[in-house]
């Protein structure tokens, strides 16, 4: 076992750690129910729409997010807070794993566990994934569970095939959320093989057991892709703008050096400058020769080395990706979640004795709370700013507000257009949106939550899950002859995508079109 980093006289009890995580969970749920000013984002609405069509997997992601949303909305109804409830629960699980992980890594110092949970709450990127329902929240929980399992295996020499199978199971569960969880595998295996007393035979048996766990839990993804011709592979290739993907590489593509040069600063963007500097000080303290008593340095060095082993494959992979396309901020975030443990261990030892560390910690708390408050209530100040005037003209914040609230107004507009068309034609129209996000948002915010079709792939865009759902097939013969309400984009793009006798722009709010006598798609979906 590791020697404790410190021997504090007073430490928080496990019951207090669990109580803190529970209170944070309850506060988040209360906020989501009564205070949250945000409409669903497009991806959140899409995942909810998936949950109405439970399947082995989906076009762009694994099935976990739909499986998590389905029971929440079944129990609590189709509401925004019910869709987001699994995100808060995933954050609760992540906090408990971090508390146990940091406590074990520090040799039993529960102050480290306490600090790890607080860091998770304070850092804006992790707060955001605890508030909004994306694949990242459950993904972090699985990543941390796999990391903690690997750490226990290495530190306590738990190297039986059963432990390797459990490790693979957590990785497989992570694949159901996000496929890049596989980037944790090389770091964990290298660390285990370097620090564990494993013979070649036990290494082979353990690796096979781990692969078995991954395959078992990731099997739903393989089943769905086998049934549909492996489109997820095409989607992942397309995300990197490589040949063979669902997005044809641009003929005028050129490398932008900013994609790569900005990448080293992701830690400052994701963690915030004070926490990023704390990470740098943690790594420096762990590897500084003779700076601290060797007994105290050893556990910090070990956990920092472990976090580096896990994070390095992630950072190198996305560094390579940055030579092909712009790396999105959230892509490497799971690796930073793992670094919260060594940071917490370092703070538990040095926060009270090191002036610079105390200052960075205070700035981390202050900046974290400020940004979190802004995240929690951003639409309110935007509306207030919109009432101000410069040179007699109001400040236009409508575009920014439309990204976070206001989509129900489009849904009401579609309903009004639909009612008018049904009275005119005597037939109920079906609904078509330009993109998957708008299709999902309309389905969520329109009364009775109707099926909304997505025409993006017929207009030359990317495929989506709507091209694979049986009830959103625009080539369905049952649609022939029916009227439709079309939402968003220009009229000529609709005329090139779908055959109607007539398409007319309506007077209703937004780009809403009434279309008569549907005759089918103009061509096959793009890239299919």
pLDDT digits (tens, 9 = 90+) for 80-104: 999 999 999 999 999 999 999 999 9
**How many Å apart are CA 164 and CA 216, to the nearest integer?**
13
Please give the distance of CA 123 from its chain centroid, rounded to a whole number. Answer: 15
CB 147, CB 184: distance < 8 Å: yes
Task: Convert the pLDDT of each residue in 348-361 to its tens digit.
Answer: 988 767 889 999 99
**How many Å apart are CA 144 and CA 139, to the nearest integer?**
9
DSSP string, 324-387: TSPPPTTTTHHHHHHHHHHHHHHHHHHTTT-HHHHHHHHHHHHHHHHHHHHHHHTHHHHHHHHT
Share of the chain above pLDDT 90, in %: 74
**How many Å apart are CA 54 and CA 66, to the nearest integer?**
7
DSSP string, 67-108: HHHHHHHHHH-S-HHHHHHHHHHHHHHHHHHHHHHHHHHTTS
**How many Å apart are CA 431 and CA 426, to the nearest integer?**
16
Find tokens 């964990």 and name the residue: 188
Burial degree of 344 (CB within 10 A; 0-12, 13-18, 19+): buried
Helix (H, G, I), strand (E, B) or coil at 460: coil
Long-range residue pairs from 260-268, CB within 8 A, at least 24 positions apart, any chain: 260/319, 260/322, 260/323, 263/318, 263/319, 263/322, 263/327, 266/327, 266/329, 266/332, 267/336
Find tokens 């020499």 and name the residue: 157
Q: What mean pLDDT do residues 467-491 have?
A: 96
* Weakest-pLDDT range from 180-184, 267-271, 505-509: 267-271
CA dihedral 412, 418, 424, 428 (to 10 degrees): -150
Q: β-strands 430-433, 389-390: how paired?
A: unpaired
CB 433, CB 439: distance < 8 Å: yes
Flag whether pLDDT at 293 surpasses 50: no
**How many Å apart are CA 432 and CA 16, to the nearest integer?**
51
CB 167, CB 188: distance < 8 Å: yes
- Residue 87: what pLDDT? 98
Find tokens 């285990």 and name the residue: 192
Flag whether pLDDT at 390 surpasses 50: yes
**How many Å apart are CA 469 and CA 51, to the nearest integer?**
12
Q: What mean pLDDT do residues 465-471 have?
A: 96
Handedness of CA 318, 323, 324, 330 (dihedral sign): positive
pLDDT confidence band for 1 (50 / 70 / 90):
very low
Flag whether pLDDT at 447 surpasses 90: yes
HSE, side-chain direction, 13 A CA sphere, residue 28: 26
Flag whether pLDDT at 39 surpasses 60: yes
pLDDT confidence band for 266 (50 / 70 / 90):
confident
Q: Which one, of 494, 123, 132, lies nearest residue 338 by Cα?
A: 123
Find tokens 């011709």 and name the residue: 229
pTM of the full predicted structure? Answer: 0.93
Token pair, residue 43, equals 């991806």
Q: What mean pLDDT do residues 461-481 have?
A: 95
Share of the chain above pLDDT 70, in %: 90
Find tokens 């439709």 and name the residue: 484
User: What letter would DSSP give residue 476?
Assistant: -
Flag whether pLDDT at 4 surpasses 50: no
* Weakest-pLDDT range from 45-49, 206-210, 285-289, 386-390: 386-390
Flag whether pLDDT at 199 surpasses 70: yes
Q: What mean pLDDT do residues 15-39 have?
A: 96
**How many Å apart are CA 98 and CA 434, to the nearest integer?**
42
Task: Convert the pLDDT of each residue in 312-366 to its tens digit.
Answer: 999 999 999 999 888 888 899 999 999 999 999 999 988 767 889 999 999 999 9
Handedness of CA 218, 220, 226, 230 (dihedral sign): negative
Task: Convert the pLDDT of each residue in 133-172 to its tens digit.
Answer: 999 999 999 999 999 999 999 999 898 999 999 999 999 9
- Residue 141: what pLDDT? 98
Token pair, residue 49, equals 């729409």
Phi, then psi, of 147 in degrees rounded to 5: -65, -45
- Residue 2: what pLDDT? 44
Q: What mean pLDDT do residues 52-64 have?
A: 97
């Amino acid at each position: 076992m590791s020697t404790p980093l410190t021997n504090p006289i007073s430490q928080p009890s496990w019951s207090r750690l669990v109580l803190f995580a529970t209170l944070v969970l309850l506060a988040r749920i209360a906020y989501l129910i009564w205070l949250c000013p945000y409409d669903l984002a497009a991806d959140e609405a899409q995942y909810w729409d998936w949950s109405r069509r439970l399947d082995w997997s989906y076009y762009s992601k694994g099935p976990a997010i739909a499986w998590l949303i389905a029971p929440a909305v079944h129990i609590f109804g189709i509401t925004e807070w019910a869709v987001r409830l699994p995100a808060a629960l995933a954050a609760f699980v992540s906090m408990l794993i971090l508390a146990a992980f940091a406590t074990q890594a520090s040799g039993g110092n529960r102050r480290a566990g306490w600090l790890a949970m607080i860091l998770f709450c304070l850092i804006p990127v992790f707060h955001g994934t605890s508030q909004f329902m994306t694949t990242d929240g459950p993904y972090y929980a699985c990543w941390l569970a796999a990391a903690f399992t690997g750490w226990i295996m290495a530190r306590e020499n738990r190297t039986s095939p059963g432990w390797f199978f459990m490790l693979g199971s957590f990785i497989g569960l992570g694949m159901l959320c996000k496929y890049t969880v596989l980037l944790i595998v090389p770091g964990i295996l290298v660390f285990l093989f370097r620090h564990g007393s494993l013979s070649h035979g036990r290494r082979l048996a353990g690796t096979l057991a781990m692969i078995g766990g991954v395959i078992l839990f990731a099997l739903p993804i393989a089943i769905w892709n086998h049934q549909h011709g492996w489109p997820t592979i095409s989607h992942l290739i397309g995300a990197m703008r490589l040949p063979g993907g669902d997005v044809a590489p641009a003929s005028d593509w050129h490398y932008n050096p900013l994609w790569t040069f900005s990448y080293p600063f992701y830690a400052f963007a994701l963690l915030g400058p004070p926490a990023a500097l704390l990470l740098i000080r943690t790594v420096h303290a762990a590897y500084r020769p003779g700076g601290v008593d060797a007994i105290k340095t050893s556990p910090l060095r070990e956990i920092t080395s472990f976090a580096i082993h896990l994070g390095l494959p992630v950072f190198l992979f996305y560094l390579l990706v940055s030579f092909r396309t712009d790396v999105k901020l959230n892509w490497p975030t799971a690796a930073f979640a793992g670094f919260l443990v060594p940071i917490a261990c370092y703070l538990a030892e040095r926060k009270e004795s090191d002036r610079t560390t105390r200052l960075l910690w205070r700035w981390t708390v202050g900046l974290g709370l400020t940004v979190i408050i802004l995240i929690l209530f951003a639409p309110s100040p935007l509306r207030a700013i919109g009432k101000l005037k410069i040179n007699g003209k109001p400040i236009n914040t409508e575009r920014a507000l439309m990204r976070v609230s206001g989509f129900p107004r489009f849904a009401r507009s579609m309903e009004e257009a639909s009612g008018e068309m049904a009275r005119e034609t005597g037939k109920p129209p079906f609904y078509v949106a330009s993109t998957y996000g708008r299709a999902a948002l309309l389905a969520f915010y329109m009364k009775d939550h109707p099926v909304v079709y997505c025409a993006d792939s017929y207009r030359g865009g990317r495929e989506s899950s709507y091209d694979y759902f049986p009830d959103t097939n625009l080539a369905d013969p049952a649609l022939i002859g029916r009227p439709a309400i079309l939402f968003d984009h220009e009229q000529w793009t609709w005329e090139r995508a779908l055959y109607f006798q007539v398409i007319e722009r309506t007077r209703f709010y937004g780009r809403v079109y009434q279309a008569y006598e549907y005759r089918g798609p103009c061509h096959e979906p793009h890239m299919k």
